[in-house]
Structure 1
Amino acid sequence: MNNTAKGFLALMLSAASATHASTVPQQGIVEGNLPANYVQRKAQMTYPDSWLSGHYADFSQWRLHARQLIRNALLTPDSHNAFAPETLNQEDRGSYTAHKIALNITDDNRINALMLTPKSPGPHPAMVLLHDHGSKFDIGKEKMIRPWGNQDQLASAQAWADKFFSGRFIGDELAQRGYVVIAIDSQGWGDRGPMIYEQQQALASNYFNLGRSLAGEVAYEDKRTVDFLATLNQVDQQRIGVLGFSMGGFRAWQLAALSEKVAATAVISWFGTYQGLMQPGNNVLRGQSAFYMLHPGLPAQLDIPDIASIAAPKPMLIFSGGQDKLFPAQAVDQAFAKVHQVWRSQNAADKLVTKRWPQLGHVFYREQQDEAFSWLDKWLMPSRP
């Protein structure tokens, strides 16, 4: 090869190398614990199994398909054992009674729950309450229903209610309105803990080592809680609702997607799109708590609002704080737009309420509660004036 040919070859190799370098993502890790190629990876997230993808013609068939995708992602087997509830303790609260019960939430786990039952004749509408994360593990179900018999636990729960719920216990408020109410601990909280923050990632990895999923077990136990309520004589099986705050809000729209038995859902302070939330600095990128909400492979198929939309056309309310730093406005607004498009496609626009509260942060304050409770009454207590 002469010098001219060698020079031409070197020039071509240099040009090819430059072109290759400009198109192949960098290696390594960047800010926010993200792979350096996360922008390219995010561009590949087209959600082919979304109703909005245009790949499906029949909504009912799509819903069955999408629900099965989620169920498969839980990595948790079906349970068949009887719930076998047992009352451990109870307290008279005037118009309703508070119970601490034990039940087989799955074939593998017998757990404690708090339940409130009105004294008036039933059957009653019912509400599954889903507690938040908050990096506070000594209380779980007690964040939603006022505990008794343990002063330290009561003080801890009241402080939490004061901080996030205007001093109210959400479950007790709903019981006074005539609902049967139940709340359980997710793994690591309350009677199933307490753990410490740094244990979460190892716990999740060990679930995977056991062929299971921490997030999947949480989701399946929530579904079983609805199934349990549906077995009770004092509960109207057609009027079971779900309400959750923060991580509980995530659990709420997830549960509405998983269970056909959920009649109405209130989601408080956990909603957005994956694209909008996976930004450097956002809490979802920290790991640890995120493992309670991560189902392997599912984000390649469905976005967050796609999953929530499996509940359509049933009633759903979604609140987000305008000052909530965990959920940027753009991520929330994009997710709101997606779910509205789905509910409209099913001629059910009147059954979906989304609202950002401009002056509020990551909270569920009295004014939000009053609006959410009235909305729930509309769908679950239709006889109430």
Structure 2
Amino acid sequence: MKATQRPSAIPGYEDWPGYVRSQQTAAVPEASGPLAAALGVPAPPPKLPVTVDWEDTHRGVTTSQLGWQLGFGPATRAWLVKPSGDTGPLPGVLALHCHAGNKYTGASRLVDFPPGRCEPRVSAPDPGRHDLYGGLALATELARDGFAVLAHDTFGWGSRRFNLGDPPWRTAAAMEGRRAQWREEGRQPSPAEEYNAAAAFHEETVAKAAGLLGTSLAGTAAHDDLAALSVLSALPGVDPERLGCLGFSGGGGRALVLSALSPAIRSYVVTAMMTTFESLVPAYLDAHSWLLQTPGLSLLGDWPSLTALAGAEKFLVQYGIDDPLFPETGMREADRILAGLHGGAYTGSFWPAGHEFSAGMQREALAFLAGALA
């Protein structure tokens, strides 16, 4: 009897285990060492050859599609957006995309593409831009305000996604149920919907694999983000002494972690990703991905207290009062903790908003970074 070949649990990332085993933990400030160890952040390559696939100018900004290979998994695709004609040096900002349950795309949801250019596999703007970002392309808006902005796909998203065409057994079984539901509804899902459904089931497998390797989903994403920050700081026309980052939702969590791990970040913005760990138990746990809920992370302190590891001079946290992912009591307590820890270096703002990065919130974030990195 012919044995059935067992599919890979990490399709497209079979070289991930060897990479993690060959790398030391990322070099970070001494105070941040326990965080890097808890997340299992592998040291990114010291220098990355960067390719430029295309460059185009439209409506006052120049957009370039970049790429680099990190040493495992598929190559990273990223976009650099900056004011056209401005040679710098400009303050640099890393724009970190959200989770959004959409891993088919990544950073492309933050970019307004010039005519004739679009993110591969996608013929229209990411719907998440309209649902979550007030219809605005965050990276492009930042560039119009005078920043050099790099938006990259991180581990598991967009160009860095897993190959789930032949999914592992547990994911395949779950997808059979989802397809049956679609058939009952008379729906024909798009390739993006198919992939995102599979990726949602597969995220648990990725988290298990990461834990087995001594890393985590958040730690491997932080590895990708540290590498992107090093790319940004080395780009012509970027002032490496004026670097910041910002993100919404999962991107906000990544901004907090990146700021804690890298002393190069002078200012950052966390949007719709701040509460206390205690407030998530028991009713809000299932609203969040493995980007926030890394086993053992709470042994280092609460989520707000991790900001004390960052060397940033100023940072902004934006809260949505009606955010269904966080209880208001947890957000209010986080705000109280942060004000006590940081004094005037911390700014907290509460918005009559749900889980979103509205146009008004973006205007506040852009103005804050402009003042902090001027």
TM-score class, shorter: 0.7 to 0.9
For the structure 1 residues 76 and 267, does the alpha-carbon distance in structure 2 shift closer, same or farther, using more than 3 Å as the test? Answer: closer
Residue of structure 2 equivalent to 1:126 = 92
Can you list the C-alpha shifts for 1:59-98, whole angstroms capped at 9, x where unaligned? xxxx954411111123233233521000112222243211
Alignment partner of 1:92 is 2:60: no
Cα distance in 2 for partners of 1:342, 1:108 equals 38
Deviations, residues 243-262 of structure 1 (Å, cap 9, x unaligned): 10011111111111111000
Q: Of residues 20, 38, 42 in structure 2, which corresponds to 1:73?
A: 38
Question: In structure 2, what is the Cα distance between the partners aligned to 1:116 and 1:150?
Answer: 14
Match of 1:333 in 2: 332
Whole-Å separation in 2 of the counterparts to 1:117 and 1:65: 34
Partner in structure 2 of residue 155 of structure 1 = 124
Is residue 81 of structure 2 the alignment partner of residue 113 of structure 1? no
Structure 2 residue identity aligned to 1:149: C
Q: 1:354 aligns with which of 337, 348, 355?
A: 348
Aligned counterpart, 1:302: 301
Q: Which amino acid aligns with 2:252?
A: G
TM-score (norm 1): 0.75
Instruction: Indicate which of 150, 157, 173 corresponds to 1:189.
Output: 157
- Kindly name which structure, 1 or 2, has the bigger radius of gyration based on alpha carbons: 1
Deviation at 1:227, TM superposition (A): 1.7
Give the match for residue 101 of structure 1: 66
> Secondary structure in 2 aligned to 1:108?
coil
SS at match of 1:291: coil
Change (3 A) 1:138 1:156: farther
> How many correspondences in the alignment?
307
Gap change, CA 1:79 and 1:152, over 3 Å in 2: closer
Amino acid at match of 1:365: S
Measure how far apart 1:352 and its partner are.
1.4
Cα gap change, 1:80 to 1:87, in 2 (>3 Å): same
How far 1:291 moved relative to its partner? 1.8
Tell me the distance in 1 between the aligned counterparts of 2:81 and 2:92: 10
1:332 Cα deviation from its structure 2 partner? 0.7
Q: Which residue is 2:167 aligned to? A: none
Q: 1:167 to 1:313 in 2, by over 3 A?
A: closer
Cα displacement (A) at 1:188: 2.4
Kindly state the Cα deviation for residue 156 of structure 1 after the two structures are TM-superposed: 4.2
2:211 equivalent to 1:208: yes
Distance in 2 separating the partners of 1:89 and 1:313: 33
Q: Distance in 2 between matches of 1:367 and 1:340?
A: 23
Deviations 1:341-364 (A, max 9, x none): 1113xxxx1x2110111x211111
Q: Percent identity?
A: 26
Give CA deviations for 1:269-326 in whole Å, capped at 9, x if unaligned: 000010112222x1x346xx52233433221122101112222562100001011011
Q: Aligned in 2, Cα 1:74/1:162: closer, same or farther, shift over 3 Å? A: same
User: Which residues of structure 2 form unaligned runs of 5+?
Assistant: 1-27, 162-194
Q: Which residue of 1 aligns with 2:23?
A: none
Alpha-carbon distance between aligned partners in 2 of 1:222 and 1:80, rounded to the nearest angstrom: 12
Distance of 2:131 and 2:57 partners within structure 1? 26
Q: What amino acid maps onto 1:144 in structure 2? A: L
2:356 is aligned with 1:363: yes
Residue 225 of structure 1, CA deviation:
1.5
**Unpaired runs of at least 5, structure 1:** 1-62
> What SS does the aligned partner of 1:135 have?
coil
2:144 paired residue among 157, 160, 176: 176
Residue deviations 1:70-128 (CA, integer Å, cap 9, x gap): 11123233233521000112222243211111113x44353111111332121101110
State the distance in 2 between where 1:246 and 1:204 align: 19
2: distance between equivalents of 1:70 and 1:272? 18
CA contact (8 A) 1:240 1:380 kept: yes
Q: 1:264–1:379: 8 Å Cα contact kept in structure 2? A: yes
